[in-house]
Structure 1
Amino acid sequence: MIRNSLATLFAVAVASAACFSQASQSAVAEDFKPSTLNQPGQEYPQVNSQGYARFRIKAPRADSVRVSLGLGGKGGTILTKGEDGFWTGTTAGPMDEGFHYYNVTIDGGKFNDPGALNYYGSVRWESGIEIPAHDQDFYALKEVPHGNVQQILFPSKSTNTSRRAFVYTPPGYEKEKSKKYPVLYLQHGWGEDETAWSNQGHANLIMDNMIAEGKVKPFIIVMTYGMTNEVKFGGIRSFKIEPFQTVLTEELIPYVDANFRTMANRDNRAMAGLSMGGMETKTITLNKPEVFGYYGLLSGGVYAPDDLKDKAKPKLVFLSCGSKERPDGVNKSATDLKAAGYNAVSYVSDKTGHEFQTWRRSLHEMAPLLFK
């Protein structure tokens, strides 16, 4: 009797699972379009109106193909081989809005998707996919005056080499020869480099659009490489801030002030960063409070009132994260800082995690608060 009952329950469970699977598959809207980050002329990967992603990889001699991607990817997507040698598969659920890194595992080897553009993240160039966001207008390419993002190579005696940075100058910088600007030093996260905030983050487009709308005071943004590739995943505790602090405060900032029209003082200089760049920002601003007047930690930790006690008072402390991270800690920190007399602002990106949509939104919220 017990065996029959268990058999019946098992049969019901299997049937329910099958029905659920069929229902889930039938619920996927078949309005897939090529990702905006595809290589020219490539049809895949594709995304649909619900945020699902679909992949199609040609590997006729492969035995297994899997796509590993960011938050919302449900732990990876196993592709199925067709008679034409193409492997195809759709994510188990919708992805979070915005940008995601991903890679393809073919018979145990890790590769990039030949259909997608590549972006530097996780200490390697990885494929990228963009899930359309309901609020993507603030970083869209529009018919507005555009600033310029230029590469600079600055001398670094401490590292005995020339180092690279990218500098965003706002619209009108080249024409208004006498005007000087505040500067934001904006840092990337672990495994990324100085290309991240422009390529993945669209920092220049965010600024162009806000300046055109009169929502932000124009300022320069400087983005440089802030870490060493010798620091492996899981070994971040061994990272030492002093070498980068020297590069930033003793070499890069003087170079920028000498070669760009900057307002070269603490009240017109900000530092912010995402993830590990936030950790760098916190450490350096506490070590060098006389250098920066505005602080921003984007999914990069928090400040406590005691951290700032007996130091030059910041004009603004901006703290942010995604709602899928630890918003309570960010909000509590801002509340505690306000109670201690600091100008602190917290922001939580809705329905995102530790990813670029959180940081795009964070920059969009922080920028209007700088240099007031």
Structure 2
Amino acid sequence: MFLRIDQVDVCYPGQSRPAVRAASLILQAGEIGVLIGPSGCGKTTLLRAVAGLERVCGGSIALAGETVSGAHLHVPPEQRRIGMVFQDYALFPHLDVGRNVGFGLRHLPPPERAKRVAEVLALVDLPGSERRFPHELSGGQQQRVALARAMAPRPRLLLLDEPFSNLDADLRERLAHELRAILKAAGATVLFVTHDQFEAFAIGDRIGVMDEGHLHQWDDAYTLYHRPATRFVADFIGHGVLVPAHIVLDAGGPHVDTPLGRLKDTAECPLPSAYPGGRCDLLLRADDIVHDDQSPVKAQIIRKAFRGSEFLYTLRLASGETVMAHVPSHHNHRIGEWIGIQPDVDHVVVFAPESQAPRAAA
């Protein structure tokens, strides 16, 4: 492991509880980790603690086996060999690109410095741009220069705090894929902060979902989507809803009864004894619901969002529950229309009802 965060608390004076509480994660060398969550959830605070810009009041942070933060230990930021890219890029407007990128290389002789600047500019696909100034560059190019500057001193770890937040949505999506390719080509170990789950999915090898200072789950994107560990992760990641369900046991094993009928394949279903009376809440993603005109289960379209190749329909069942469904866009139904649907659930993910202590079983 390269970065180990173990039960870290970060406290601010005057606050009744830590801004980050008992956060733990492991990031291997060469991996890209992403912290995601709503504003104020603690993701940037945890990133700053890794950088040494915030002190921890509990737990520990280790880099390459060296403890750099603890309740009674704090290695200064400049001794951690960490590179950072901020939201505003923090480029020096009066310096050209070459001098911006070489700012952290002043200890090198000029020929070596120029060689390293050229190397990292080529890596971020901006070769030969040393004499241009920041104001002459697009937002995406400025972001790449900031990345090149952070990578130039060969840091042990790169930290990126919402580097795309000032860019438009289309550019952000394209740059996210480009950034991953650049970081992988460099063999960099990276911790990245964003509030955008599409960015997180495009960039991250491992993703941590945070809320109110708590790191709910640290996993790959597929597992977060299909096997969320908590109700918050289930709600925050992807399009989905929780509907009441009932686990029953017969000769064929446990089954799940839902407002859309009994699920067909419930091989992963927990036993009814996992929940009082077998009552639970079932996670239904938009891709768990199939449009089928022949289905006896009908639902009314109450909202629709055009996504190009598909619509995202929000549907209300006759029983009152709401579900969502991805439907090919040539099925252009009107709001208020009733359509046939059926569940097609590969991953059975259920939680205790909110009145009980929440826990996942999948």
TM-score by length of 1: 0.30
Q: Which structure is higher in RCO with an 8 Å CA cutoff and minimum separation 6?
A: 2
Structure with higher strand content: 2
TM-score by length of 2: 0.31
